[in-house]
Amino acid sequence: MVLFRSLFFGEVRKSIGNVTTYSGAKGYSVGRTRRMKIRNPKTPGHLRQRAKMKELLRLSLYFAPAAELGFPGRTAGTSCYNAFVKENMGAITATESESGEVVATVNYDQVVCASGYLTSLANVEVTVDTAAKKVNVTQEAQTYWSAVANPNDVLYVAMYEKEKQEMVVTGCRNRKESGSTSIALGKNWAVENLVIYAFMLSKDKRKASRSIVLQPTSNE
């Protein structure tokens, strides 16, 4: 930006080449340069970042059932989709294929579908009953409490089928209870495509824990 006095330009706004002038304060004219060409960066770094963002935006749609519950502490005006994308930039890797196309890959074990300062429930086991097409979630009661572990906090389990791109979220029992919760698999879900996440949610659903990945055992 340049400030100058000129009888030639006067006080009229004009454009000459890539310079635009207009009148400013105290009789001065203001000159600004305009970008003549809009660039579309295609450096490897930019292409990888775009591929990661595109994949994250797509994934956020399928993880919305968990994210809507799992990010209660997000700032005003921030959607669960925004919170999910922000939290999961590190869960996506982007590499260049032999054809030169940049391909984004999801590391599902690193995906976070809930975030907060509540503590996770320590003793949770998941068993997949292939014949009955259901998942059994077994939890042991917690015996100590704190500001980040209320006895009424509820365990939530989110099951995601990677190929079908479908998710089921189920509330189980609270911290002070022991027991098992049975969750039916989605229609035509393949057990080998399952990823199971767990997180705690306060009774009023205003606080959450960071989600963890549960490794299921098979009961065939």
Backbone Cα Rg of the chain:
27
Interacting residues of 214 by C-beta distance below 8 A, sequence separation 6+: 124, 125, 126, 157, 196, 197, 198
Q: Which of 7-11, 53-57, 62-66, 198-202 has the lowest mean pLDDT?
A: 7-11
Where do the structural domains in the chain lie, given as residue ranges?
Answer: 2-33, 44-218
Confidence class of residue 8 from pLDDT cuts 50, 70 and 90? very low
pLDDT in tens, 77-110: 889 999 999 999 999 998 887 777 888 999 999 9
CATH architecture of 44-218: Sandwich (2.60)
Quick: pLDDT tens for 146-155.
999 999 999 9
On the 0-12 / 13-18 / 19+ scale of CB atoms within 10 A, 147 is: exposed
Q: What is the pLDDT of residue 195?
A: 96
Give, to the nearest 10 degrees, the angle between helix 44-62 and helix 80-87: 130
Residues ≥6 apart with Cβ < 8 Å to 170: 137, 156, 157, 158, 159, 181, 183
d(CA 220, CA 12): 82
What per-residue confidence (pLDDT) applies to 24? 55
The reply to whether the predicted model has a pTM over 0.85 is no
Which residue would you say has higher pLDDT here, 15 or 83?
A: 83
Q: Using pLDDT thresholds of 50, 70 and 90, give the confidence band for residue 22.
A: low
pLDDT of residue 102: 86
Task: Quote the pLDDT of residue 4.
Answer: 45
CB 124 within 8 A of CB 138: yes
Report the distance separating Cα 81 and Cα 97, nearest Å. Answer: 28
**DSSP β-ladder status, 217-218 and 124-129:** parallel
Question: Cβ distance 83 to 104 under 8 Å?
Answer: no
Q: Averaging pLDDT over each range in 44-53, 94-103, 124-133, which range is the top one?
A: 124-133
CB 169 within 8 A of CB 157: yes
For the segment 50-66, the average pLDDT, to the nearest whole number, is 94
Neighbours of 140 (CB within 10 A): 14
Task: State yes or no: pLDDT of 3 exceeds 70.
Answer: no
Q: How high is the pLDDT of residue 9?
A: 44
Phi-psi region of 64 (alpha: psi -120 to 50; beta: other; left: phi over 0): alpha
Reply yes or no on whether the pLDDT at 34 is more than 70: no
